[in-house]
Amino acid sequence: MSWPGIRRTRLRFPPIEALVDAGSELSWLPAQQMRAIGVGPRRKRTFVTTTKEVIEREVRYAVLAAEGFETVDEVVFAERSDLCLLGVRTLEGFGVMVDNVGHRFVAVTTVAAKNTLKPTR
């Protein structure tokens, strides 16, 4: 099965340092590095900063990997003045929690909803 819009699946750049920010919904990666490997934006989104400034950034879906975990998530093309962040949606996609003492990811069990209703006939 082919996925519309996906032309190359193995575009990578070297590991980067990023802050883990469970208060940030999305992950923010350096726009310059994304474009350097041929990953371009799909659309723009508006954000409000912690200082209440309204900013606009480009975004797209990407495969993210860290410490042996991998997920697909929407990422923001961070400008030079922006921080590089791994946001909460990426952490949830990885299926991890953050060990603040050991400074590492710890795998967690994902809770799934179970149908407890009796089937009707």
> Of the CATH numbers 3.40.50.11540, 3.40.50.10490, 2.40.70.10, 3.40.50.300, which one belongs to the domain with range 19-107?
2.40.70.10
Sequence spans of domains, the chain: 19-107
Cα–Cα distance for residue pair 43/119, rounded to 1 Å: 44
Distance CA 92, CA 89 (A): 5
pLDDT (tens digit per residue) in 15-68: 888 999 988 999 999 999 999 888 899 999 999 988 999 999 999 999 999 989
Kindly tell me the sign of the dihedral angle through the C-alpha atoms of 10, 15, 16, 17: positive
| Predicted local distance difference test score (pLDDT) of residue 106 | 93
> CA-CA-CA-CA torsion for 25, 13, 98, 56, nearest 10 degrees?
-20
Q: For the chain, how big is the Rg over CA atoms in Å?
A: 17
